[in-house]
Amino acid sequence: MRTYLIFIWHGIFLSLTMSMIGLNTVFPALVTDLGGSKIMFGLLYSILLGAPYLFSVLFGHYISRHSFRRKFLLLGIYLRGAAFFGMAGMTYFFAVRSPWLVVGSFFFWTFMFSVSGGFAGISYTDIIGKLVPPPDRGRLYAAKQFASSIAAFIGGLIVAGTFSTSRFPFPDNYSLVLGIGGTGLVIAAIAFWFIREPPSQPSTQSQLPFRELLRRIPEIMRGNHAFLRFVIVQNLTSFSLMVMPFYMVFAKDRFAIPDSYIGRYLLFQIGGAVLSNIVWGLISSRRGVKTVVRTCVAIGGLIPPAAIATAYLGPNVFAVIFFLVGFVRSGRSVGFDPYTMEIVPEAERPVYLGIQGTLNILAVIVPFLGGVLIHVVGYYPVFGLTAAMMGAAFLLLSHPHARPAADTNR
């Protein structure tokens, strides 16, 4: 119960924080209001999604050489908080008279936010793997996600209230929510000071020199077919993550909506996340986390054609797209990490997580590519491409997976 409470506490305040930056709502609206183009936003989003993956194998190798990983988790969280405060300060002081200076600074702040998140994420997943036995992981993720969704809903109300009142004109509204986000991360980190982390056992891969580990990656991938398939699946589902923030940009272009819709759409997204947790929890406990992943991918493939259909029905009906986005993002949180833990050897987990991140190369490329493609060919072809990639990912997940071989280093 103590472990559950620690992770739920962190999940609540992290979720409140992420509502403030609203990667699919607030952040794209901020970049657009600052005059950033679709290509510029795509490049920023590539940094947000992809920067951690560039360093994942290095991070995983480095972390795996240490018996205790909590210090890396805390360092990553505090650096992310600093990035929030940096974005808030730049927006507050320079958004009106030097908007391009703010957009330029975002390349630094988003890189810092993203890379530190990747560093913290490997430690976080490994600590959960050490503290929570496999049968309980799905339930923990579902419970954490449910509590997080409620916190996100509260965060959505804060964002909606901030953007719907004249008390906080531009850029005060964005600065306020970003400042709240940084504060939420600092509070979220408090829980991890109470973790009783057991030492990790040494593993074969962690003792290798980094260059030797890089040379062995193809051998590692060939030795675990389920892991190889899932790496491919994650690359394909990067297209879904790529297009999610562009739904907000699409709505601004299509309907010329005011900023009050930012909070409204965010609440629909959070509502989808809250309600979906009941579904994901039931699926996880009855059918396993792989079914959660497959269902999540299937819904993700349906969103792009739904966006095309609802584009003709007005901005209010288009809110259903954000409801489905919340459904899918929640499913990723409940299913993807627990599924990875199922298919990799326990003692080698940080190394495998690092390899998985670094090989997710499309997450680095496709957000920027999406911005370029949307600029050149428009939204609809990109939506169609995304649906096709999600269909391919769904088919790959139809293969059964075997349990990883028992660790020999323990």
Give me the residue spans of the domains in the chain: 2-193+216-396
User: 225-265: per-residue pLDDT in tens?
Assistant: 888 888 899 889 888 877 887 888 888 888 888 777 877 88
Average pLDDT estimate for 356-362: 76
Q: What is the mean pLDDT of the chain?
A: 82
Q: Which of 120-134, 199-213, 375-389 has the lowest mean pLDDT?
A: 199-213
Rank 11-15, 305-309, 339-343, 376-380 by mean pLDDT and report only the highest. Answer: 305-309
Tell which wins on pLDDT, 196 or 183. 183
Average pLDDT estimate for 19-25: 73
Q: Which of 22-31, 96-105, 202-211 has the lowest mean pLDDT?
A: 202-211
Tell which wins on pLDDT, 294 or 44. 294
**Check whether domain 2-193+216-396 has CATH 1.20.1250.20, yes or no:** yes
Q: In the 3-class helix/strand/coil scheme, how is the chain assigned residue by residue? A: CHHHHHHHHHHHHHHHHHHHHCCCCHHHHHHHHCCCCHHHHHHHHHHHHHHHHHHHHHHHHHHHCCCCCHHHHHHHHHHHHHHHHHHHHHHHHHCCCCHHHHHHHHHHHHHHHHHHHHHHHHHHHHHHHHHCCHHHHHHHHHHHHHHHHHHHHHHHHHHHHHHCCCCCCCCHHHHHHHHHHHHHHHHHHHHHHHCCCCCCCCCCHHHCCHHHHHHHHHHHHHCCHHHHHHHHHHHHHHHHHHHCCHHHHHHHHHHCCCCHHHHHHHHHHHHHHHHHHHHHHHHHHHHCHHHHHHHHHHHHHHHHHHHHHHCCCCCCCCHHHHHHHHHHHHHHHHHHHHHHHHHCCHHHHHHHHHHHHHHCCHHHHHHHHHHHHHHHHCHHHHHHHHHHHHHHHHHHCCCCCCCCCCCCCC
**pLDDT for 281 beyond 60:** yes
**pLDDT for 323 beyond 90:** yes
At 101, is the pLDDT very low, low, confident or very high (cuts 50, 70, 90)? very high
